[in-house]
Structure 1
Amino acid sequence: MIVSVMTMLSRVLGLARDVIIASLLGAGSGADAFFVAFKIPNFMRRLFAEGAFNQAFIPVLSEYATRRTREEVRELLDAVSGSLGVILALITALAMLCAPWLVWVFAPGFSEDAGKLALTGEMLRLTFPYLLLISLTAFSGSVLNTWNRFAVPAITPVLLNLSLIGAALLLAPRFETPAIALAWGVLIAGCVQLLFQVPFLLRLGLMPKPWPNFAHEGVRRILKLMTPALFGVSVSQINLLLDTVLASFLVTGSVSWLYYSDRLVELPLGIIGIAIGTVILPALSKRHAEQSLEHFQKMLDWALRSVLLIGVPAALALGVLAEPLLITLFHYGAMTDNDVVMSAQSLRAYSFGLLAFMLIKVLAPGFYARQNTKAPVKIGIIAMIANMVFNLILIGPLAHAGLALATALSAFLNAGLLARGLYREGVLRFQPGWGRYSLTLLGGCVLMGGGLMWLSPDWTTWLGWGLWERCAMMGALVVGGILAYGLWLGLCGVRPRHFRMQG
């Protein structure tokens, strides 16, 4: 609950940030350039820091915290922070030096527009150090999460959104190219987020003294686990990146349309999927260290039920209200009617895959908590290959929406294979009551979805409304949908106590 509330605050501010960016840049060349310049370090952050490193570091750290002395824990933190810092500093320096070529790799279609390519490269030199700063922030957050201090890491992303909002409102008017001000905002955010965590590490007495030591037993184990983990939990991010690469060859605005629709999907994904995944990894790691298989199984079952409780209705609502949501949040300033129509197409495709994105976040920790990285790698490779095939099949008839749909389909394949693997290994066992629970969720979604379609005016009507009319109607629909869904669950006997994690 703590992580969900903090994440909701961050995501709401993130939507406010995107509303301001949409009004400032719309879906033109400047917006495409900034989104790519920000997506490259952000992608590597999710792949490396929050993906491979996080999944390898937390199980090892949990084992040290459970079985080793306090002094050995401090030695591990010193060695890991120093080694991580050296690797990231070298990667950052190399990326800044090779920025134009890096842009060409991630968005090859920009090579047809020399101005867009140069602008993206200039901004990438400002945004890429964010990888170093946010990776060290993720390291600090992993330590805090392991010691059950979930609130601080969960609220830290708020600082990124505040920095970008400040850059858009205060710095952009001072720049000839407003998008460059946003790149400075990313750099400032990285510094602020890292410094924010320091006092809390000091309070725990776990502030590391970074010193590279690649020979340390814990560092060697983490590096060994990281290598295959790069292709595990972060497969969905790789698929999203492939969307950007292919979208760079499509008409101007395609990258931005995918970005705006992805941002709306990230709201429920962060509030429930990532929140549960964040909490469950250290908890599962501790249960594995304690050799408590029964509690391990109950935790996974709890995570799946919790994800379905929010994920299914959220996906349905995003699909039903695609255009009204985009109009209410983004249709101001430089954002056009066509941008809304195009973004809605990819939003519906992404919303179809939302449940799969969430399931991956809670199923993958079932492997990583047991320090098993080989199985997710094999599954990740299969999902990536499938995504490439789906992209090639769907990009022709559906353009950018086909890329989003391909990502959704490959995510379902990924989640299904993860679940099958956990079941075969005996760690995923469905607890009693799943049949009734599934019917209850289905009935609630039918009631909510039908109500939203009946009450919402045609999306073209929303275009003629002002800000407050749009917000009032959207607020009424959101509240009405939540009440209808919640009332149905209550009538069917579902209570909050049923979702307390007993493991």
Structure 2
Amino acid sequence: MSLLKNVGTIGGLTMVSRLFGFVRDMLLARVLGAGGVADAWQLAFQLPNIFRRLFAEGAFASAFVPLFNRHMKDGDDQTEARRFASEILAILLPILVFFGAIMMIAMPWILYAFASEDLQADQQNYELAVMMGRIAFPYLLFMSLATLTAAVLNSLSRFAAAAAAPILLNICLISALTWGAMQADSEVTRQSTGLLLAIAVTTSGLLQLLWLTYWMRRSGFRIPFKRPRITPDVKQLGVLIVPAVFGAGVYQISRFIDLFFLSSLPEGSITFLAMADRWNQLPLGIIGIALGTAILPALSRFIASEDADGAFRLQSNAVELAMLLTIPSAVALFVTGSAFTQVFFVGGAFTVEDALITGTVVSGLVIGLPAYVLVKVLTPNFFARKDTRTPVYTAAVSLIVTISLNLFLIFSLGLGVLSLAIAGSIGAWCNVALLYAILARKGYFKLTGSVVSRMFRIMIAALMMGAVLYYLMPCADPYFTGSALERAASILSIVLAGALTFAIAAFALRVLDRETIGRLMRRQA
């Protein structure tokens, strides 16, 4: 299957999941608002979710897929691949159970380290956060096992089931929030809804594991259970996975650091950042995660067969496609972030002021959107070569830059929660610069003149679109918080104006032509 088709499959289903996520966040804003129970819920949910993205979807998948593909290279014979997956499952399961038990026992102290001063002082909501955290943390166990199953499916070039699985999370959370929206608005309702959300999170993890296991077996692959043993393959995965935590998970590590800094900021800051990150995660998930997931198995096969030209072509196509999709998204959200947060979030316990703060944070986050996606696109080139150390060094530099900027922007300039967004974006660009420089120096990948020219033209087209949106925003602003019809009409006018402007500019600047589309559609492996 071609890169474009693979990304389309993964990205399309991810978009469905993200749309469900927007419905979830709209209900969340109206039922819980910002601060109080909302902050307690965000803190309780962040811990298992960050660990999931950092270790399961980030480090584990990045280290497991190249090794698994090496065992699959002998055609239809899956014996070695089954043995490898079985050995990894036998070690992974007891580690997850032990880690989960420790975290649940230590939850009061762990949450205290990340909680804001307001939440620490609010004993009732703090105890609620601890209870929600304990109920929700088994989600990490189920999702880590689901990630193993998804990695097998992706290696078999069956991307749809794994891409669709997160929809189950949002359906479970929406069900809990719908119950809360139907109750009388009170503190008791918000607390009860928070507990239901925690139950829904863990339930969704189990459902996703069952869903992926079903499709893996439908694909003819089964993972037998074995007694845990430290085999050479397990050792090799362990060697790769530790540095991969930093290399693939810099975005999530920065979210962990954000939790520390958020504890020093006013009440509601954690909610503002979480709501803003939803808009950043939409293109990041649809484009970045889809591209990274799609190219890693193919890159692993190219490199295993010593096809340097194929690997170079795939990497070049991935970078070009990433920039074509993310640069316009970043410019559009930078200019219109507050429009989207007002239209979708204002109502119930979430005020216009809350939405405007969230919109400002969106603008800060999307400065780094292309960089976050490029990290997802460039790191597979290292992982496919079983080099998980190099991304560690680049990630470490990125984190140092991010932390230094946080200290300066928060405590010297007093930019509040916006500081976290800007610092993370600049740190991500530093990571991209280092990753690309190392790839180019080692001869693994270097941008061609035609790709650089096309990227420059994409930027020009996106800036032209941004200028149109900038002048359109004041005209549509009075309708962002109006009736449902006015909100829909105002946001639709902005989306259509932006899309039409970029399309015309891209056509005039020859950003896309028949040759480019044909190259992206060509089968990659």
* Bin of the TM-score, shorter chain as denominator length: over 0.9
Partner of 1:479: 496
The Cα shift of 1:124 comes to: 0.4
- Identity fraction in percent: 33
| Aligned residue type for 2:362 | L
Partner of 2:3: none
How far apart, CA to CA, are the structure 1 residues paired with 2:522 and 2:420? 37
The Cα shift of 1:471 comes to: 1.4
Query: Is residue 311 of structure 2 the alignment partner of residue 290 of structure 1?
Result: no
For structure 1, the 5+ residue unaligned runs are none
Partner of 1:457: 474
Partner of 2:125: 116
Query: How is 1:58-69 mapped onto 2 (pairs within 5 angstroms)?
Result: 58-67=65-74, 69=77
The Cα shift of 1:249 comes to: 2.0
Query: Is residue 514 of structure 2 the alignment partner of residue 497 of structure 1?
Result: no
Partner of 2:90: 82
How far apart, CA to CA, are the structure 2 residues paired with 1:218 and 1:4? 32
The Cα shift of 1:459 comes to: 6.7
Q: Is the 8 A contact 2:254 2:399 kept in 1?
A: yes
Q: Which of these residues, 274, 281, 293, is aligned with residue 289 of structure 2? A: 274
Partner of 1:207: 222
Partner of 2:40: 33
Between 1:164-173 and 1:458-467, the stretch displaced more is 458-467
The Cα shift of 1:191 comes to: 1.0
| Aligned residue type for 2:99 | I
Q: Secondary structure at the match of 1:398?
A: coil
Partner of 1:191: 206
Q: Secondary structure at the match of 2:461?
A: helix
Between 1:445-454 and 1:345-354, the stretch displaced more is 445-454
Query: How is 1:141-156 mapped onto 2 (pairs within 5 angstroms)?
Result: 141-156=150-165
Partner of 1:263: 278
Query: Is residue 269 of structure 2 the alignment partner of residue 254 of structure 1?
Result: yes
Partner of 1:344: 359
| CA RMSD of superposed structures (Å) | 1.7
Q: Is the 8 A contact 2:368 2:429 kept in 1?
A: yes
| Aligned residue type for 1:250 | L
Query: Is residue 24 of structure 2 the alignment partner of residue 9 of structure 1?
Result: no
Q: Is the 8 A contact 1:62 1:146 kept in 2?
A: yes
Q: Which of these residues, 288, 304, 324, is aligned with residue 309 of structure 1? A: 324
Query: Is residue 88 of structure 2 the alignment partner of residue 73 of structure 1?
Result: no
Q: Is the 8 A contact 2:16 2:167 kept in 1?
A: yes
How far apart, CA to CA, are the structure 2 residues paired with 1:463 and 1:60? 50
**Change beyond 3 A, Cα 1:118–1:236:** same
How far apart, CA to CA, are the structure 2 residues paired with 1:231 and 1:464? 41
How far apart, CA to CA, are the structure 2 residues paired with 1:105 and 1:116? 15
Query: How is 1:168-187 mapped onto 2 (pairs within 5 angstroms)?
Result: 168-170=177-179, 176=189, 177=191, 178-187=193-202
Q: Is the 8 A contact 1:298 1:502 kept in 2?
A: no
The Cα shift of 1:246 comes to: 1.2
The Cα shift of 1:354 comes to: 0.8
Partner of 1:333: 348
Q: Is the 8 A contact 1:172 1:181 kept in 2?
A: no
Q: Is the 8 A contact 2:248 2:376 kept in 1?
A: yes
Partner of 1:234: 249
Q: Is the 8 A contact 2:461 2:509 kept in 1?
A: no
Query: How is 1:370-385 mapped onto 2 (pairs within 5 angstroms)?
Result: 370-385=385-400
Query: Is residue 401 of structure 2 the alignment partner of residue 386 of structure 1?
Result: yes
| Aligned residue type for 1:103 | L
The Cα shift of 1:172 comes to: 7.0
Which digits, 9 at most, give the CA deviation of each residue in 1:235-269, with x for residues without a partner? 11111221122112211100001111111100011
Q: Is the 8 A contact 2:479 2:490 kept in 1?
A: no
| Aligned residue type for 2:388 | T
Partner of 2:134: 125
Q: Secondary structure at the match of 1:205?
A: coil
| Aligned residue type for 1:27 | A
Query: Is residue 368 of structure 2 the alignment partner of residue 353 of structure 1?
Result: yes
Query: Is residue 391 of structure 2 the alignment partner of residue 366 of structure 1?
Result: no
The Cα shift of 1:379 comes to: 1.2
Query: Is residue 103 of structure 2 the alignment partner of residue 95 of structure 1?
Result: yes
How far apart, CA to CA, are the structure 2 residues paired with 1:323 and 1:209? 51
The Cα shift of 1:420 comes to: 0.9
How far apart, CA to CA, are the structure 1 residues paired with 2:45 and 2:500? 38
Q: Is the 8 A contact 1:56 1:225 kept in 2?
A: yes
Between 1:284-293 and 1:483-492, the stretch displaced more is 483-492
For structure 2, the 5+ residue unaligned runs are 1-7
Query: Is residue 485 of structure 2 the alignment partner of residue 468 of structure 1?
Result: yes
| Aligned residue type for 1:488 | A
The Cα shift of 1:399 comes to: 0.8
Query: Would you say how many aligned residue pairs link Structure 1 and Structure 2?
Result: 503
How far apart, CA to CA, are the structure 2 residues paired with 1:462 and 1:390? 36
Which digits, 9 at most, give the CA deviation of each residue in 1:276-298, with x for residues without a partner? 01101111111111111111111
TM-score (norm 1): 0.96
**Change beyond 3 A, Cα 1:172–1:198:** farther
| Aligned residue type for 2:302 | R
The Cα shift of 1:120 comes to: 1.0
Q: Is the 8 A contact 1:130 1:187 kept in 2?
A: yes
Which digits, 9 at most, give the CA deviation of each residue in 1:114-151, with x for residues without a partner? 23321111100111000000111111110000000011
The Cα shift of 1:502 comes to: 5.2
Q: Secondary structure at the match of 2:428?
A: helix
| Aligned residue type for 1:411 | A
Q: Is the 8 A contact 1:59 1:369 kept in 2?
A: yes
TM-score (norm 2): 0.92
The Cα shift of 1:74 comes to: 1.1
Between 1:490-499 and 1:93-102, the stretch displaced more is 490-499
Between 1:163-172 and 1:255-264, the stretch displaced more is 163-172
How far apart, CA to CA, are the structure 1 residues paired with 2:139 and 2:522? 35
Q: Secondary structure at the match of 1:321?
A: helix
Q: Is the 8 A contact 1:243 1:404 kept in 2?
A: no
The Cα shift of 1:181 comes to: 1.3
